[in-house]
């Protein structure tokens, strides 16, 4: 049978269980808070516990269990700059070796060459011409003259404007601006035969005489000999000896001054060109010009 005392025990038991549970939780929180405070990393807030009083527990635990409404706490941890200590470790000598303080170990040193050659770098080519860097031209520049000098015979030298046209065709006036007369082309050098023909032409109309060799009367071979002598060449005296001398040439290759022989070598003449000859013909005609084919031809020679 249930008694009053049993009922009182039943009512008290839940109270004791709740109080024991709260006490255990708060005790654990207190222990954790003590550990956190010991490390210097936690913040605490006061919490009122019925039957126990006011205690301080970490704000994280109070928030987790909903024991109280705590304001937000801004925790700023101080920065700590920890520099590692500098350690100077001196090399230790090997077993059996001694090393004095300040004395270098030659076996552990790298070899350094006594002479080091450093090749110069390639020069950068100059991209700007030298002329572009010069403030003045590299060659002298002379302005065009504004006047020129004109010489007037008997009066002297006068300055005239350069814009004045060249003074040409005025007697006694020499103007440097006037165009110069072209230099005549050099005359081609004449051959010996051409000079002999020129000398023979000067004797046209001279009298014929047997054995005449000039300078006023001639026979046929005498005219040939005299004409070549005037040209600076000596030829034989008689017509037959003249045909036998020199260089033979054909009729088609005749040039002025070549000897043309007629009548088997008995008559001599000089070729003028254009199919004509000059010769001392006979007593009545003297020195004259005749056609090449007017007499029977025996041959031709070139001296």
Give the residue numbers marked as catalytic.
220, 267, 279
Strand partners, 151: 157, 174
Structure tokens at 24: 């255990």
Query: How far is it between the farthest Cα atoms of the chain?
Result: 215
Q: Which helix (H) or strand (E) holds 208?
A: strand 207-208
3-state secondary structure of 93: coil
Structure tokens at 3: 């008694």
Query: How many Cβ atoms sit within 10 Å of the Cβ of residue 17?
Result: 10
Q: Cα separation of 207 and 285, whole Å?
A: 8
Handedness of CA 91, 96, 100, 103 (dihedral sign): negative
Among 252, 263, 249, CA closest to 220? 263
Tokens 């080519």 correspond to: 125
């Amino acid at each position: 049978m249930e008694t009053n005392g049993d009922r009182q025990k039943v009512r008290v038991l839940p109270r004791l269980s709740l109080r024991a549970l709260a006490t255990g939780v708060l005790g654990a929180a207190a222990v954790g808070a003590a550990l956190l405070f010991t490390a210097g990393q936690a913040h605490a807030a006061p919490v009122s516990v019925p039957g126990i009083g006011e205690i301080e527990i970490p704000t994280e635990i109070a928030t987790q269990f909903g024991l109280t409404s705590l304001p937000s706490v801004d925790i700023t941890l101080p920065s700590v700059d920890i520099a590692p200590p500098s350690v100077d470790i001196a090399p230790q000598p090997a077993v059996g070796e001694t090393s004095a303080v300040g004395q270098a170990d030659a076996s552990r040193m790298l070899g350094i060459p006594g002479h080091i050659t450093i090749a110069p770098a390639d020069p950068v080519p100059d991209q700007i011409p030298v002329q572009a860097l010069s403030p003045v031209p590299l060659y002298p520049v002379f302005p065009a003259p504004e006047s020129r000098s004109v010489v007037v015979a008997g009066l002297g030298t006068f300055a005239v404007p350069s814009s004045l046209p060249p003074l040409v065709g005025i007697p006694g006036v020499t103007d440097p601006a006037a165009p110069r007369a072209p230099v005549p082309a050099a005359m081609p050098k004449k051959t010996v035969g051409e000079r002999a023909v020129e000398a023979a032409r000067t004797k046209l109309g001279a009298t014929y005489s047997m054995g005449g060799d000039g300078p006023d009367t001639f026979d046929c071979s005498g005219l040939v000999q005299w004409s070549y002598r005037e040209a600076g060449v000596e030829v034989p005296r008689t017509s037959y000896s003249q045909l036998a001398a020199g260089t033979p040439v054909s009729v088609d290759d005749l040039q002025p001054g070549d000897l043309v022989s007629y009548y088997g070598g008995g008559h001599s003449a000089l070729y003028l060109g254009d199919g004509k000859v000059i010769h001392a013909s006979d007593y009545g005609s003297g020195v004259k010009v005749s056609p090449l084919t007017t007499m029977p031809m025996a041959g031709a020679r070139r001296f």
